[in-house]
Amino acid sequence: MISEETLRLRRVNWRIFFRRYGIVISFLLLCLVLSLLSDRFLTWTNILNVLRQSSINGIIAVGMTMVILTAGIDLSVGAILALTCVVTADLLQKGLPVPLAMLTGLALGAALGMFSGLLVSRLHIPPFIATLGLMTVSRGLALTYTQGRPITALPASFDFLGAGSIGPIPMPIIVAGLIFLIGYFILARTNLGFYIYALGDNPMAARLSGISVNKVILFVYALSGFLSALAGMVLTGRLDSAQPTAGYGYEFDAIAAVVVGGTSLAGGEGGLFGTLVGALLIGVLNNGLNLLNVSALWEGVVKGAVIALALLLYRAVK
């Protein structure tokens, strides 16, 4: 009797284990396959490369995770990234000191995000529509602002954020790592994090429990805008060029990372650990397609199929 019971308990534990870490298993499987297919995959240079390439999506995905946890969505991240980075680059070229220009860019990102937050919380516009609108407007503003031309040749101290490194570690990885840690702390340890989960779980109960629902919504969208701006600076620094067409389609990579990482689009369930693995999975996939010389024309198809497979594998064990 007792042995039967423990057996059953163990089976349940496995199930919980898979639900929580299934995506990790998918990720490791993908790494295993790639390391067998290409001997360049598991080299130090390549690993740093993957991490660096995942960092921009990772930074955006942290904000996206919080928005999605409140049962929202932010489609404007890529466009905000473009608008803030051309504005910042322009200010730099006009001779504004680097810290000041960066602060302005980040504040602009936060303000844009806050604007969609206001639309969602005060005017009750569905997040999909509100951020879709902001995406179109921001992208348009970025194009008009620059007349469609990229802004290049920026101060070296600005480029450091995207192109520099501390010791052997490139700056983008360090920035993304810090953002993940801070995001994790907010979600797991602070009042705000509790409120974000509560709001996503049951908005009506959240309001009746005295949570300032509007403030929480405002925060997550502002944070998402802020992080998009930050990701934009990393990107601009790395390329030493701010392009009004930058960040095109980044919203999909960020949403994919969050959802592959197990955060529910219905809100209230999930977290940043999953998003981290999700972002890495997408990064490794991009990298693998490169290493294996898959034609760029086929890249989207293969990428979509592998993501679907990873999700399927993880639902199957769930």
Partner 1 sequence: MAEEKKITTDEILLEMKGISKSFPGVQALKNVDFVLRRGEIHGLVGENGAGKTTLMRILTGVLPKDSGTIILKGKPVHIENPRHAQLLGISVIHQELSVLPNLTVGQNIMLGREPRSFLPFLVDWKKLYRASLEHLQRLNVDIDPRTPISELSVAQRQMVEIARALSFKADIIVMDEPTSALTEKEIESLFSLMRSLREQGISIIFISHKLEEIFSIVDRVTVLRDGALVGSMPISEVKTEEVVKMMVGRELGEMFPKDSVPQKEVVLSVRNLKRGKELRGVSFDLRRGEILGLAGLVGSGRTFVARAIFGADPLEEGEILIEGKKVHIGSPQEAISLGIGFLPEDRKAQGLFLGLPLSHNIGITGLKRLSLFGVVIFRKLKELALNFVNKLRIRTPNISQLVRNLSGGTQQKVILARWLSLKPRILILDEPTRGIDVGAKAEIHAIMSELAKEGVAILMISSELPEVLGVSDRILVMHEGRIVGEFTREEATQDRIMLCATGGANNG
How does strand 165-166 pair with strand 169-170?
antiparallel
Closest CA to 26 of 261, 297, 192: 261
DSSP element (H, E) containing 242: strand 241-242
- Is the separation of the CB atoms in 279 and 61 below 8 Å? yes
Write down the least CB distance from residue 145 to partner 1, Å. 37
Residue closer to partner 1, measured from CB, 12 or 153 = 12
Q: What token pair was written down for 209?
A: 């429990």
- Is the separation of the CB atoms in 266 and 248 below 8 Å? no
Residue closer to partner 1, measured from CB, 43 or 209 = 209
Residue closer to partner 1, measured from CB, 7 or 28 = 7
Residue closer to partner 1, measured from CB, 157 or 209 = 209
Residue closer to partner 1, measured from CB, 135 or 206 = 206
Write down the least CB distance from residue 199 to partner 1, Å. 9
| Dihedrals phi, psi of 147, to nearest 5 degrees | 55, 30
Q: What residues are paired with 242 via a beta bridge?
A: 151
- Is the separation of the CB atoms in 234 and 172 below 8 Å? yes
Write down the least CB distance from residue 165 to partner 1, Å. 32
Write down the least CB distance from residue 103 to partner 1, Å. 23
Write down the least CB distance from residue 197 to partner 1, Å. 6
Residue closer to partner 1, measured from CB, 118 or 313 = 118
Write down the least CB distance from residue 37 to partner 1, Å. 40
- Note the residues at the interface with partner 1 (CB under 8 A): 8-9, 12, 189-195, 197-198, 201-202, 204-212, 268-269
End-to-end CA distance of the chain: 27
Q: What token pair was written down for 292?
A: 């294996």
Write down the least CB distance from residue 225 to partner 1, Å. 21
CA 42 to chain centre: 24
- Is the separation of the CB atoms in 186 and 63 below 8 Å? no
3 state SS of 170: strand
Tokens 């409120």 belong to 195
Residue closer to partner 1, measured from CB, 72 or 283 = 72
User: Within 10 Å of residue 99's Cβ, how many Cβ atoms?
Assistant: 10
